Structure 1
Amino acid sequence: MDAPDQTSPSVTTRWESLTAGRSGRRYADRFAQLAAAGVDVHGEAAFCHALVPAESRIMDAGCGTGRVAIRLAELGHRCVGVDADPSMLEVARDRSAAVSWVLADLADLDNSVGANLCGLDAPRPFNRPEQAPISPATDGSFDLIVAAGNVIALLAPGTEAAVLHGLARRLAPSGLLVAGFGLDAAHLPLPAAPFGLADYDGWCAAAGLTLDRRFATWQGLPFETGETGETGETGDDPLDRGARRGAAPGYAVSVHRA
């Protein structure tokens, strides 16, 4: 299957526009506060853990500060975390050596562009990672790839189909792609949803993925219910709004199979 046309890697992601690459410590602190308040911050990891056998190979695509990947590694899986934001990966690397951390833009994985394994010793400005051979950590097949935290919704406009094609190519036969993202402004750090579920499912189908199941929350509530499943109290901060977990049609957790 031919890869879809890709938007130039110089296109700014929606995440960059929100944070300018300076959100790592702040993002980690927010989840630390939620955990200290007794909120379960491992719903995504628990959800993924239940889908695969022990010691599965898992990629956390858009891993941020590593919360999901680290927990999955603690549960016995072999994990790789990929993110384009050096400030986020700096925190992730400090937190765990059990995960292979890769600095790369998800839109560039298919072109073997921009991966640096743990190359985060010196602070650097937020821009596209320099061109380099793709890290061996992202080679080979994965039993599951998870994109939590609105990763797909925060990609650079126009790159969504190419990103999903690249991720699908890295799935093992019958491997799973799990993605959770908001479908309206109340569940996104954006003024409006950049696309709908029909668009997402279409991109997945074009990449050879079939919808296996869909939920309204990471706790497994059916998508068609009107119940809610919030992660925690949120405020006016756009990053906080991005952490909300709500019911359909505000939020969806989709499981697609290769």
Structure 2
Amino acid sequence: MSERSTTSGKPTRWATDTAPEHSQWYVDRFRRLAAEGVDLAGEARLLDTLVPPRSRILDAGCGTGRVGAELAARGHTVLGVDADPVLIEAARADHPGPRWLVADLAELDLAAAGEPEPFDAAVLAGNVMTFVAAGTEATVLRRVAAHLHPDAVIAVGFGTDRGYPLGDFDADVATAGLLLEHRFATWDLRRWRDGADFAVSVLRRPA
């Protein structure tokens, strides 16, 4: 992830909780991990199992583009959005092919950016939900869902010890009009247990 500057005037936690140089550190870190051959495709593998071939996927809070790039390599059409221009610049440099846009998830309006076609799925990986502006979580989920086809899925993963309680997330899911279908403790589908330090939730926009 993710989200440094916004158009709403309300700073994201990516902006308030990290130093200005953190974005470049994040870029450098994932470039190093990729060069070392570390497996960075777990989130993409999961989402790939949830959608038909050649789906249209929204990578919301795309960061440096590693998830969206892997989905594109698997044949999907990907649009990545992130509020941090440093991360979007890195995504464009490292992963040409998908379209990468600077956008505030709390005010997401992709039709205005020339992308009116709905998506078949969305993914919010890399602790995106713990970095959006405090109090905008339900709005973020609602704005992402508004860009999806009915019955589309949203895969969301974040650490449960990062200041956004899972109970609050579930309440925000309901407020956004989404349904929780599955929950796992990791992106490789280890069984969920209460108290796990990470949660992967598969949501669905009602048909």
What is the TM-score with the length of structure 1 in the denominator? 0.72
In the other structure, the counterpart of 2:198 is: 251
Provide the rounded CA distance (Å) in 2 between the counterparts of 1:33 and 1:18.
23
Cα pair distance change 1:88/1:26, threshold 3 Å = same
Provide the rounded CA distance (Å) in 2 between the counterparts of 1:10 and 1:195.
21
Task: State the 1:62 CA deviation.
Answer: 0.5
In the other structure, the counterpart of 2:186 is: 217
- In structure 2, stretches of 5+ residues that fail to align are 1-6
In the other structure, the counterpart of 1:236 is: none
- Where does 1:49-198 land on structure 2 (aligned, <5 Å)? 49-109=48-108, 112=109, 134-137=112-115, 139-184=116-161, 193-198=162-167
Structure 2 SS opposite 1:80: strand
Provide the rounded CA distance (Å) in 2 between the counterparts of 1:23 and 1:135.
27
Provide the rounded CA distance (Å) in 2 between the counterparts of 1:61 and 1:21.
21
- Superposition CA RMSD, Å: 1.9
Cα pair distance change 1:84/1:20, threshold 3 Å = farther
Provide the rounded CA distance (Å) in 2 between the counterparts of 1:255 and 1:214.
6
Q: Deviations over 1:43-93 (max 9, x none)?
A: 111111111110001000000110000110010000000011010000111
Task: State the 1:22 CA deviation.
Answer: 4.0
Task: State the 1:194 CA deviation.
Answer: 2.5
In the other structure, the counterpart of 2:174 is: 205
Provide the rounded CA distance (Å) in 1 between the counterparts of 2:28 and 2:61.
18
Q: Deviations over 1:3-33 (max 9, x none)?
A: xxxxx92111110123455444432321233
Task: State the 1:249 CA deviation.
Answer: 2.0
Q: Deviations over 1:118-146 (max 9, x none)?
A: xxxxxxxxxxxxxxx82123x32111110
**Does structure 2 retain, via aligned residues, the 8 Å contact 1:79–1:100?**
yes
Provide the rounded CA distance (Å) in 1 between the counterparts of 2:121 and 2:203.
10
Provide the rounded CA distance (Å) in 2 between the counterparts of 1:96 and 1:38.
16
Provide the rounded CA distance (Å) in 1 between the counterparts of 2:59 and 2:20.
19
Provide the rounded CA distance (Å) in 1 between the counterparts of 2:198 and 2:34.
22
What is the TM-score with the length of structure 2 in the denominator? 0.89
Larger Rg: 1
Provide the rounded CA distance (Å) in 2 between the counterparts of 1:89 and 1:26.
14
Q: Percent identity?
A: 46
Structure 2 SS opposite 1:81: strand
**Does structure 2 retain, via aligned residues, the 8 Å contact 1:213–1:255?**
yes
Cα pair distance change 1:71/1:21, threshold 3 Å = farther
In the other structure, the counterpart of 2:3 is: none
Cα pair distance change 1:253/1:48, threshold 3 Å = same
- In structure 1, stretches of 5+ residues that fail to align are 1-7, 116-132, 185-192, 226-247
- How many residues align? The count is 199
In the other structure, the counterpart of 2:4 is: none
In the other structure, the counterpart of 2:31 is: 32
Provide the rounded CA distance (Å) in 1 between the counterparts of 2:62 and 2:144.
14
Structure 2 SS opposite 1:134: helix
Cα pair distance change 1:101/1:38, threshold 3 Å = closer
